[in-house]
Structure 1
Amino acid sequence: MTEAEAVRDPWEGDARLPEFFADAWPAVERFHRMLVDEGELRGLIGPREVGRLWERHLLNSAAVVPFLPETGVIVDVGSGSGLPGIVVAAMRPEAQVVLVEPMERRTTWLDDVVAATGLVNVTVRRARAQELEGAIEADVVTARAVAALDKLFRWTVPLVRDGGVIVALKGSRAAEELTAAAPVLRKLRLVDAQVHRAGTIPGVEPTHVVTAVRGGGGAGVR
């Protein structure tokens, strides 16, 4: 038995999980199982993360979903192991989700996850966000643990249509990061920037979601 296999997630088997994820549950549960079985082996997660995948990673990723449109193009930059992109795709099946990741071993993993979960609304692109200017026009760009907000805004604004939204999952210092990014917000014409406390299931610590709209078009999240 590996160290990862010996770690038990306290949320494993909790009946609230399938209730919360609803129709997305089969894909999310399959994704979770792949992370448990292969995540450490493929260098995607550390052994200590196996026992907290649901709370710290999958439910944390799901916290972003209420800020996303039901349809349209959602681009997840720096997708890595698929967080939040795979969870987003499962919970927003009518949207087209593009997972952008520069590392080949990670895009191979993402392709494997898409095939195993049966998600038909996902495209995997091997690239850095900065390389896709002019190639993608998103309604929303998402990101989790990619970069400080000032850098993230510079990298992602070219991928978002006027009136589109950048939605970033952030930690407890989200408000400080947003304040520090004020000059970049002005320069890039990002407006209505806010920090939201976003929850999922009672007992799970809420996370922080930062939203900012490009161009002041007012379209925002549909």
Structure 2
Amino acid sequence: MVADTHPDLTDDPWQGDPRVEAYFGTAWPAVRGFHLLLAQEGVLRGLIGPRELDRLWSRHLLNSAAVVQFLPETGRIIDLGSGAGLPGIVVAAMRPDAEVVLLEPMERRTDWLSEVAELLSLDNVVVRRARAEDVHGELTADAVTARAVAALDKLYAWSMPLLRPGGVLVALKGGRAEEEIQAALKAARKQRVEAVEVLVAPTIPGVDETRVVRAVRKPA
């Protein structure tokens, strides 16, 4: 586990707020360690911008955690384009009984993800250097997550072949989620999407609610 030797690395207003620790519960040690790693190394390694340091909790970690309520507690979850590990690392910390596959095509990012998983003792994490289409027909999941990866039409094409029938795509989206759904209707039909909905996911008071698109793959 990462030692908490630099408790005040940023001016994030949520730093040290006991409600954040309470929200994460048993996942807190791992999520706190992940925050420290991002604060120490994220900008240096080109994973986050310098302006993000003071909003790691509200904009990134709590935002990522908001999707967990829509994910299964067991089975396999694939995080597309994991990048810095948002939401994949947070999901793995909060869903310890699920296998979480972090799918990322860039080597420097997969190196980072492997280091983070090892340092945080996240034994349920599998890091794969690949694009989604590279593992079509090889990996099957109960759920797929995506954050700031692509528009829905592309996400459908990448994620639906990875999902078992009845599996779900859970994508973090912004204020134009409904517009994206409408723009991707043709792709949804082509990729056997059965149902799509926009869900609002709060975390703690004072943090902006997260908007999530949940799409279900049609049963066989």
Q: Same fold (TM over 0.5)?
A: yes
Structure 2 Cα separation of the partners of residues 161 and 207 of structure 1:
26
Could you tell me which amino acid in structure 2 is paired with residue 125 of structure 1? R
Q: CA deviation at 1:118?
A: 0.6
Structure 1 Cα separation of the partners of residues 136 and 100 of structure 2:
17
Runs of 4+ in 1 over 2 A off after TM superposition: none
Please state whether the residue corresponding to 1:192 is helix, strand or coil. Answer: strand
Q: Superposed, which structure 2 residues align to 1:33-112 within 5 Å?
A: 33-112=36-115
Conserved 8 A contact 2:78-2:100:
yes
Find the counterpart in structure 2 of residue 220 from structure 1.
none
* TM-score, length-scaled by structure 2: 0.95
* TM-score, length-scaled by structure 1: 0.94
Please state whether the residue corresponding to 1:29 is helix, strand or coil. Answer: helix
Q: Deviations over 1:119-164 (max 9, x none)?
A: 1100000000111101100000100000000011111111111111
Q: Deviations over 1:64-108 (max 9, x none)?
A: 000000101000010000000000000000000000000000000
Find the counterpart in structure 2 of residue 141 from structure 1.
144
Backbone CA RMSD of aligned residues? 1.1
Conserved 8 A contact 1:133-1:158:
yes
**% identical aligned pairs:** 63
Structure 2 Cα separation of the partners of residues 30 and 74 of structure 1:
22
Find the counterpart in structure 2 of residue 122 from structure 1.
125
Structure 2 Cα separation of the partners of residues 60 and 125 of structure 1:
23
Could you tell me which amino acid in structure 2 is paired with residue 74 of structure 1? I
Could you tell me which amino acid in structure 2 is paired with residue 120 of structure 1? D
Structure 2 Cα separation of the partners of residues 188 and 52 of structure 1:
36
Conserved 8 A contact 1:76-1:84:
yes
Aligned residues: 213
Q: Superposed, which structure 2 residues align to 1:151-162 within 5 Å?
A: 151-162=154-165
Could you tell me which amino acid in structure 1 is paired with residue 36 of structure 2? R
Structure 2 Cα separation of the partners of residues 181 and 128 of structure 1:
21
Q: Deviations over 1:35-89 (max 9, x none)?
A: 0000000000010000000000000000100000010100001000000000000
Find the counterpart in structure 1 of residue 30 from structure 2.
27
Structure 2 Cα separation of the partners of residues 124 and 54 of structure 1:
24
Gaps of 5+ in 2: 1-7
Conserved 8 A contact 2:160-2:192:
no
Q: CA deviation at 1:17?
A: 1.0
Q: CA deviation at 1:216?
A: 4.0
Find the counterpart in structure 1 of residue 198 from structure 2.
195
Conserved 8 A contact 1:80-1:101:
yes
Conserved 8 A contact 2:10-2:39:
no
Q: CA deviation at 1:199?
A: 0.7
Conserved 8 A contact 2:200-2:212:
yes
Could you tell me which amino acid in structure 2 is paired with residue 182 of structure 1? L
Structure 2 Cα separation of the partners of residues 10 and 54 of structure 1:
9
Structure 1 Cα separation of the partners of residues 9 and 59 of structure 2:
18
Q: Deviations over 1:182-216 (max 9, x none)?
A: 11111111011000111101111101100111114
Could you tell me which amino acid in structure 2 is paired with residue 59 of structure 1? L
